[in-house]
Structure 1
Amino acid sequence: MGKPNLLMEKGEQFFADGFSLYVNRVSEDFDLPEHEHDFIEICYVWAGSGFHYIEDQTIRVTQGDLFFLPLGVSHIFRPSSNKPKEPLIIGNCIFDEKIFHFLTSILPEQYGLYSFRGMNAETDRWLQMREKSGEFGRLFESLYMEFEHKRTGYETMLSGLLLQLLIVMERAMTPEINKGNLIAERIDSVYRFVRDHLHEKQTLATVAQHIGVGERQLQRNLLDKAQLSFTSLLQKERIDRSCQLLIDPSLSSLTIADISSRVGIHDLKRFHLLFKQAMGMTPARYRQLNTQ
């Protein structure tokens, strides 16, 4: 490690009281030369825009960009302008290999951090990612405030926040897998809500609001994953439930109108029409054939 004519920053310049984790927020300028370091660094673009020179690459950066820099990676940030009104603000979280190894191995392997678990030896592998909705910024704000105030137990709190940051970064490195899981969970939530409230009036808007997603996005998810519109899904669930009620021996005293009402279809004529379209026979005939 160590390249000619490069400034070497050492952790001992920053770490204190035996705790090898340091957090700061700086306004970048043109004075600090390109450098490398003997610690691991996570850099977050807090505000502004500029350039990040990493090894032999030049990367334009704006608020929300984040970089993971292992030991020995040479880099430097430069603002787009030297005007004081247009600063490039960078948050830095630096820590030594011992803390990194501890945090990436403290949980059983099946719990995740797969990408980071084997990175100790890959000292030349730097990473770039970008937040989707402020997730990196919120954690950096918490890290910075915890480090600045140094209240009781701050070392443990900082270690926990760094672990959270690594997990969020892990998720960002596997967006398609996580996106698929998220959509699958969303569809499951739709089915659970619809089935639990079949007797009530339901609309795409009410279900989307309950789940916390936009109507158009939810409709797209349903068409992509369930191959059904919300209206078709709701009708299918109501007819499926009515079939169960029709053949339940303990509910033989229920009339067709009772069952129609229980599944949220209060127009008996419409219930007959939808049932016959789905099952090819009337509700009464279905009950007769399946309760003999």
Structure 2
Amino acid sequence: MKKPSPRVERGEQFFSDGLSLYVNRVFEEFELPEHEHDFIEICYVWEGNGFHYIEDHTIRVKKGDLFFLPIGVSHIFRPSAHHPKDPLIIGNCIFDEKIFRFLTSILPVEYGLYLFEHINAKTDRFIQMRELSGEFGHLFESLHKEFQQKHMGYETMLCGLLLQLLIGMERALNREQEIVDPVTEKVEKINRYIRGHLQEKITLTAIAQHIGLGERQLQRIVSIHTGRSLSTLIQKERIDRSCRLLSDPSLASLTIADIASRVGIHDLTRFHYLFKLWMNNTPARYRLEKALQSSLL
């Protein structure tokens, strides 16, 4: 028998006063059916234990577990029993894609802040992690308190706390990678340094000193694990960033020269050459095609 489609929960059921961000704390029971939603959700296991059913996965959960659920992922929490000794209490922070994009993409690009990698790259599937010493719980307490009390400036405070939570999640994912593969983590550190300094002149010496490696060792690691030279890797990151900027409708007022400057290429002729080399297209044509694609969605 075909599995029935999950119920769709919509942000308009929760969002109000022009703020597309909502925080609650709920005691999970068996009445609520499996559902998906048109917003992004971060769920935190506040107390108790039970199960989290996500798509085709059944995951045993306990206090300190945290989940990032992108749009369209079906899920439901269930306590371990109908009348558990310790109830399963879940904190939910839900927000729309615009807020997520502003915090993880627009802010970093506009002001040279930390560029999200793991969460941005994995928005097509759920992410699971655990806190080390209550760091997610403290943030959820603050989020819930701000949302309930609604003091002056609470909207801005909520966005700031959400940004802290997202950074904390990135750090947790980085810790997991470091435990699994130290060499891969070094490659990630190299990539993070490059992405964080694209507007500047990036040198082999500066990266090596930042990572704590010798210059030859760094070049060898990059060559073995990426199949590219360091200079080629930097080129690719600059063109990848320029593609994101050119695709962003909120940055349509920027000229091609502005885009080139933002990725650290100040010679416009060279930027056109490198863009054509990597993308087999001109920057202007690429921007137009992306704008047409966006208008058809």
Which band: TM-score by shorter chain?
0.5 to 0.7
Alignment of 1:1-292 (within 5 A): 4-83=4-83, 85-105=85-105, 106-108=107-109, 111-119=114-122, 124-175=124-175
* Amino acid in structure 1 at the alignment position of 2:126: W
Return the index of the structure with the highest Cα Rg: 1
32 and 171 in structure 1: CA distance in 2 versus 1, 3 angstrom threshold: same
* Amino acid in structure 2 at the alignment position of 1:117: N
Name the Cα RMSD after superposition: 2.0
Shift of 1:82: 1.8
1: CA distance, partners of 2:176 / 2:127? 17
Tell me the alpha carbon deviations over residues 205-254 of structure 1, each in whole angstroms, 9 at most, x when there is no partner: xxxxxxxxxxxxxxxxxxxxxxxxxxxxxxxxxxxxxxxxxxxxxxxxxx
1: CA distance, partners of 2:151 / 2:116? 29
* Amino acid in structure 1 at the alignment position of 2:29: D
What SS does the aligned partner of 1:145 have?
helix
133 and 38 in structure 1: CA distance in 2 versus 1, 3 angstrom threshold: same
**TM-score (structure 2 length as normaliser):** 0.56
> Among the aligned pairs, what percent are the same residue?
69
1: CA distance, partners of 2:84 / 2:50? 13
160 and 110 in structure 1: CA distance in 2 versus 1, 3 angstrom threshold: closer
What SS does the aligned partner of 2:46 have?
strand
Tell me the alpha carbon deviations over residues 105-153 of structure 1, each in whole angstroms, 9 at most, x when there is no partner: 2124662422233445xxx311000000001000000000000000000
2: CA distance, partners of 1:97 / 1:73? 14
What SS does the aligned partner of 2:157 have?
helix
- State the match for 1:205 in structure 2: none
- State the match for 2:219 in structure 1: none
For the 8 Å contact 1:11–1:39, the answer to whether it is kept is yes
Structure 2: which 5+ runs fail to align? Answer: 180-184, 187-297
What SS does the aligned partner of 2:132 have?
coil
2: CA distance, partners of 1:104 / 1:145? 24
110 and 21 in structure 1: CA distance in 2 versus 1, 3 angstrom threshold: closer
